[in-house]
């Protein structure tokens, strides 16, 4: 069984220009995902990108690179298009799809997910969430209120739930090609602590993760 990881890192990010190689505590953002993969039990670590700069950085940190066509590297391109492009060209049995924007994952998290593949068809990362009242922008309750509860529920009255945090997903090549989805079949969850579940989409996220990494 050949296990690979794949990190998708296109060059055209809008929220943070060149986000995937933006500086995070004196290292490019993508280097953390590459390092976690290289230290895990995967056999090969790959980056799919349309950017020559990201390609050079990824190779310098030990990853292999596959060129991602421009037509599947747009703002509206689903990740699955790049996953399938890779799957049609590269030989593997199990894929760990890692988000470049999730620098807080550890190799142990990946290994835990891979071990779970003995009993699941796919797994993905989550964190546990206690219930909090959520509202729309026009201040109407979402998922609670008079239609659902006769009163504002207490936190302990509502069950905890999992929140998909997008750090990584694991599936088989067979299931990916069949379903064309990152997860399918009998799905399991790899639970991460909240403090390691944050990803980088905005400068605010970036500054928060810098502080988490520095322990301040």
pLDDT tens by residue, the chain, 216 residues: 999 999 999 887 777 888 999 999 999 999 999 999 999 999 999 999 999 999 999 999 999 999 988 888 887 888 999 999 999 999 999 999 999 999 999 999 999 999 999 999 999 999 998 888 888 999 888 877 766 666 777 777 777 889 999 999 999 999 999 999 999 999 999 999 999 999 999 999 999 999 999 885
For domain 3-127+162-214, give the CATH superfamily.
Answer: Spore Coat Polysaccharide Biosynthesis Protein SpsA; Chain A (3.90.550.10)
What's the whole-model pTM score? 0.90
211: CB partners within 8 A, 6+ apart: none
**Which of 128, 152, 155, 161 is the catalytic position?**
152
155 tagged catalytic: no
Reported for 204-208, long-range contacts at CB under 8 A and 24+ positions apart, including other chains, are 206/16, 206/22, 206/24
DSSP string, 84-119: HHHHHHS--SEEEEEETT-TT--HHHHHHHHHHTTT
């Amino acid at each position: 069984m050949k296990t690979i990881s794949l990190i998708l890192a296109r060059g055209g990010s809008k929220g943070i220009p060149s986000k995937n190689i933006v500086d995070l505590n004196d290292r490019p953002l993508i280097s953390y995902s590459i390092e976690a993969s290289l230290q895990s039990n995967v056999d090969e670590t790959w980056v799919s990108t349309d950017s020559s700069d990201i390609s050079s950085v990824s190779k310098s940190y030990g990853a292999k690179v596959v060129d991602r066509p421009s037509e599947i590297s747009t703002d509206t391109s689903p990740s699955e298009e790049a996953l399938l492009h890779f799957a049609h060209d590269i030989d593997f049995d199990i894929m760990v799809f890692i988000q470049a924007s999730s620098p807080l994952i550890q190799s142990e998290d990946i290994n835990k997910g891979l071990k779970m593949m003995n009993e699941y068809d796919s797994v993905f990362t989550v964190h546990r969430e206690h219930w909090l009242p959520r509202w729309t922008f026009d201040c109407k309750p979402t998922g609670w209120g008079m239609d659902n509860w006769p009163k504002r529920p207490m936190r302990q009255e509502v069950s905890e739930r999992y929140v998909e945090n997008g750090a990584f997903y694991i599936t088989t090549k067979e299931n990916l090609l069949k379903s064309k989805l990152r997860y399918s079949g009998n799905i399991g969850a790899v639970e991460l602590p909240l403090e390691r579940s944050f990803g980088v989409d905005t400068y605010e996220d970036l500054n928060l993760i810098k502080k988490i990494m520095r322990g301040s």
